[in-house]
């Protein structure tokens, strides 16, 4: 990972899946929040009913099956690129050193991180095919993957500059929050907030990997003064900006998903009226006008 590309690749992986997870969890949140009776009636009577029953499935298999395949495939690509770019680093113990010293430590740590996320992807695949019982342990494997990532990056900065240490420790903060959420999700599977917090900080990991690449390995040929405390302060502020950006992006994705479902007329999402304590579903304009007329 000692290159810009080495940081951009895992950053892209985390970004892709945080966006996908945001879409998936937004859909599920809207689905759970909707009125069951209205949703069933919409599904049965609407021409979109077939689409509704099949959302999240491709060719009869759950979306998590393909999600696992893509995660495992991306991790395999990351493993190979880490050991092959910009030169081959497959050697783990030096053959020229009489003491067989451990070499390419950073690269092998990164590859181990890819292995654990690849295991998580494989668990998703097996849980949807040959070992259905593994579905109960999916979050355990995801939490383990996050933990391994955070462990490696925490011990990744020995002897480095203050800026390098700071940006990696800020990454560890994001990983720690994701790990904690994943651990709690093992027992609180139906919690609404935890998946969004985990995904939000996964998105922060993705954008922060890119930020670290730009700061430590600038593409314009320049360099940051990594011993300057002002740059450390800027990096801290930038990390907070990344958290804010993730919140806005996730809110935008949620809005788009909600709008798409409203447009298709698939779900009726209840809104509580504080004064009357009633639930009003999302309805088309004619239904709203009819209800208002009845109340008058």
> What's the pTM value of the predicted model, to 2 decimals?
0.79
Task: Extract the tokens encoding 15.
Answer: 């970004």
Contact 213, 206 (CB under 8 A): no
Distance CA 51, CA 47 (A): 8
Residue 265 clears pLDDT 70, i.e. is over it: no
Q: What is the pLDDT of residues 35-79, one digit of tens each?
A: 554 444 444 444 444 433 444 555 567 888 999 999 999 999 988
Specify the DSSP element, H or E, that contains 123: helix 105-127
| Mean pLDDT rounded to a whole number for the chain | 81
Distance CA 206, CA 224 (A): 21
In this prediction, residue 46 carries a pLDDT of 41
Q: What is the pLDDT of residues 189-231, one digit of tens each?
A: 888 899 999 999 999 999 999 999 999 888 877 788 888 899 9
In this prediction, residue 218 carries a pLDDT of 85
% of the chain exceeding 90 in pLDDT: 46
Task: Extract the tokens encoding 101.
Answer: 């010293």
Q: What are phi and psi of 276, to 5 degrees?
A: -100, -10
- Facing residues of 57 across strands? 62
Domain ranges of the chain: 4-295
């Amino acid at each position: 990972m000692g290159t810009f590309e080495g940081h951009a690749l895992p950053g892209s992986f985390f970004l892709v899946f945080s966006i996908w997870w945001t879409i998936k969890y937004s859909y599920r949140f809207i689905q759970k929040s909707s009125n069951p009776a209205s949703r069933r009636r919409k599904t049965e009577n609407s021409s979109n009913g077939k689409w509704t029953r099949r959302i999240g499935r491709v060719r009869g298999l759950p979306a998590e099956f393909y999600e696992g395949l893509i995660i495992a495939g991306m991790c395999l690509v990351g493993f190979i690129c880490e050991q092959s770019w910009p030169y081959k680093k497959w050697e783990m113990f030096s053959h020229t050193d009489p003491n067989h010293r451990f070499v390419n430590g950073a690269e092998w740590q990164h590859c181990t991180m890819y292995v654990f996320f690849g295991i998580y992807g494989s668990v998703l695949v097996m849980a949807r095919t040959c070992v259905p019982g593994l579905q109960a342990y999916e979050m355990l494997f995801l939490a383990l993957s996050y933990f391994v990532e955070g462990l490696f990056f925490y011990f990744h900065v020995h002897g480095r500059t203050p800026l390098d240490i700071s940006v990696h420790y800020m990454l560890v903060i994001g990983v720690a929050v994701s790990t904690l959420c994943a651990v709690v999700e093992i027992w609180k599977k139906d919690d609404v907030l935890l998946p969004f917090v985990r995904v939000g900080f996964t998105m922060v990991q993705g954008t922060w990997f890119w930020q670290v690449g730009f700061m430590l390995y600038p593409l314009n040929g320049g360099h940051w003064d990594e011993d300057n405390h002002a740059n450390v302060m800027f990096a801290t502020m930038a990390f907070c900006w990344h958290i804010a950006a993730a919140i806005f992006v996730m809110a935008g994705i949620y809005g788009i998903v909600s709008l798409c479902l409203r447009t298709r007329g698939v779900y009726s999402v209840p809104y509580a009226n504080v004064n009357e304590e009633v639930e009003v579903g999302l309805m088309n304009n004619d239904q709203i006008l009819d209800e208002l007329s009845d109340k008058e």
